[in-house]
Structure formats: structure tokens, C-alpha cells
Amino acid sequence: MEVIVQSDQQKASELAAALIAQQIGAKPKTVLGLATGRTMESVYDCLSKWFESKQLDFAEVSTFNLDEYIGLAGDDVNSYRHYMNEKLFSRINIDPKNTHLPNGMAEDIDQECEHYEQLIDDINGLDLQLLGIGRSGHIGFNEPLSALRSRTRAKGLTPQTLEQNAELFPGGIEEVPKRAITMGVGTILDSKRCILLATGQEKASIIAKAVEGPVTSMISATALQLHPRCTVIVDEEAASDLEQLDYYRWIFANEPEWEPFR
Ligand code: F6R
């Protein structure tokens, strides 16, 4: 794992977007794992702008999102399919048939989860998985006690997550579905590379636990310590509870790989 601290939210988002752009430049047929939520909005803004300025081409890219609420159809404004269409897919030249999210309206949810895993398998896995982190420490919707080897499945959401996500529902917490389909921790760990982006003071304490705490299924993001190539990008606020901050800064300052991004 490596931790990169950027001065503010905008710079942190730009770096995450730049790593995605670099991945697509190196492999046009890239398979991206994507996340939703507030943190990702500026990443998708950057990618859309770079597409408009012809620096980026999504024609051959495929995407798989981490999760979707159970019981919301794709055209529901609160669904993650709707979020992705609005914030990214409709703004770039990706082929809609190459964009995948679990179907939260599937009649047989278990079968839908198996099918989703199969699709990821058939395409040879995820080249780069983008992640946010919830206040509960979840990645995707892998809430506390998610098995570290779990695969795509249905998961109940914690009261903390319902509260966090209620901010995005006009009708408040009562409207937030209580269950979602999510890639498992094991599915995420199988990605070839992953990037966890966290910004803002409210993420400081959970980021410190995820990066410096012991690996535990109580905080799914700690499993990323087991990932062979995981980059954690934080702004100063989200980094503020990290004990080894000077060490991370030193590594970044002395790592040739990061030269183009300074
Ligand atoms: C959403 C997802 C979640 C979010 C997390 C942070 O697809 O996978 O894990 O990344 O809840 O959400 P924000 O960015 O809204 O704080």
C-alpha cells in the first residue's frame, strides 16, 4: 500500500483521475471498477473534461460498478445506474453496453450476484478499481463483518451508512433502501490495481484505521493492506489522523513513479 497526500480535495481528485487516464492510455481496452458517492463526483468531472479536450478516449473501455441498491430501477434518480449515467457515462464516449452495474431489480438476487461475478471473470478481471470509503469503513457496501474473501452478494446496510447516504435522498433516511448488491471484499482484492480516494475531515479517523490499524472484517477497508497494488489518495484533512504522515510524504517524494504527477 502507498499513501499519497495532496494539498486539497481538488488535487486529490485530479490525481485519482490522472491515474485512471494513465491506465486507459496504456491499455485502451481497460476494465475499470467504479464507485459512486460524493467523493467521486470531481473525479468524474475531470475525466469528462479530459474527454472533451480529446485527451481521453473511452471507446474501448468497460466498467463494472461496485454496488447498486436493491429495489431501485436504473431510471430511479436515486439508483447508482442513474448516478453513473448522469455523472460520467452520458458525458463521455463509452459504449453503454460496456457499462455494468448489478441489477437491483433482479427477481433472483443470488443469481444476479453470481452472474455479475461471472461477467467480471469472463472479461479477465478488473484492471483498476476505484474506491471511496464510508464512515463505517466500508468499501463498496461491505459493511462491518463482511468476510475478507466475500464475493458479490446482497448486504444489509448499517444505520450509520443509511444516515450517511440519506443526505443524497430528497425524502431522507426513510427513502434509503436497506439492502444493496455489492462486490465482495474478495472481488475487490482480485483487481489488478486499486485506488482508494478519501477527502475531508469526516474521513480522517476511518482512514487512519484503514491504513494503520490491524486488518479486521469489522473495517472492510483494512483488507486493502492485503492488496498487492493499492494506492490511497487523501487530502490534508483526510490525512490528519495518520500517525506516519512524514513517512508517507518521504516515500512519495523519493518515488520516481510519481514524478509526472507532481
Ligand atoms: C459507492 C460506494 C461507497 C462509497 C462510500 C463513500 O458506490 O462504493 O463505498 O464510496 O460510501 O461515499 P461518499 O463519497 O459519498 O462519502
For 89-106, the DSSP string reads GGGS---GGGEE---TT-
Ligand 1 pocket test target in 83, 133, 143, 182 with most atoms within 8 Å of CB: 133
Report pLDDT for 142.
98
Instruction: Determine the Cα–Cα distance for residues 260 and 64; give it in Å rounded to an integer.
Output: 28
What pLDDT is stored for residue 261 in this prediction?
Answer: 72
Q: Ligand 1: distance of its center to the CA of 256 in Å? A: 31
Residues with C-beta less than 6 Å from any ligand 1 atom: 35-39, 66-67, 132-134, 138-140
Q: Is residue 21 in a domain?
A: yes
Give the pLDDT of residue 258. 81
Q: Per-residue pLDDT for the chain (262 aa), expressed as one digit of tens each?
A: 999 999 999 999 999 999 999 999 999 999 999 999 999 999 999 999 999 999 999 999 999 999 999 999 999 999 999 999 999 999 999 999 999 999 999 999 999 999 999 999 999 999 999 999 999 999 999 999 999 999 999 999 999 999 999 988 988 999 999 999 999 999 999 999 999 999 999 999 999 999 999 999 999 999 999 999 999 999 999 999 999 999 999 999 998 888 777 6
SS3 3: strand
pTM check: above 0.95: yes
Structural domain contains residue 260:
no
Which of 66, 101, 163, 194 gets mutated to test ligand 1 (max ligand atoms within 8 A of its CB)? Answer: 66
Q: Which atom of ligand 1 is nearest to the CA of 165?
A: 15
Q: 226 in a domain, yes or no?
A: yes
Distance CA 56, CA 43 (A): 14
Give the Cα separation of 79 and 4 in Å (integer): 31
pLDDT score, position 260: 72
> What strands lie across the sheet with 153-156, from one edge to the other?
67-69, 179-182, 153-156
Is 53 a member of any domain? yes
Work out the angle at residue 226's Cα, subtended by the Cα atoms of residues 122 and 127, and round it to the nearest 5 degrees. Answer: 30
Residue 262 forms part of a structural domain: no
The phi, psi pair for 67, rounded to 5°, reads: -160, 165
Please tell me the distance from the alpha carbon of residue 226 to that of residue 1, in angstroms, as a whole number.
Answer: 8
Which pLDDT value is given to residue 256?
82
Q: What whole-number distance in Å separates Cα of residue 68 and Cα of residue 81?
A: 7
CATH of the domain at 159: 3.40.50.1360
Residue 194 lies in a domain: yes
- Whether residue 203 is contained in a domain is answered as yes
Residue numbers of the domain that contains 155: 2-255
Instruction: Quote the number of domains for the chain.
Output: 1
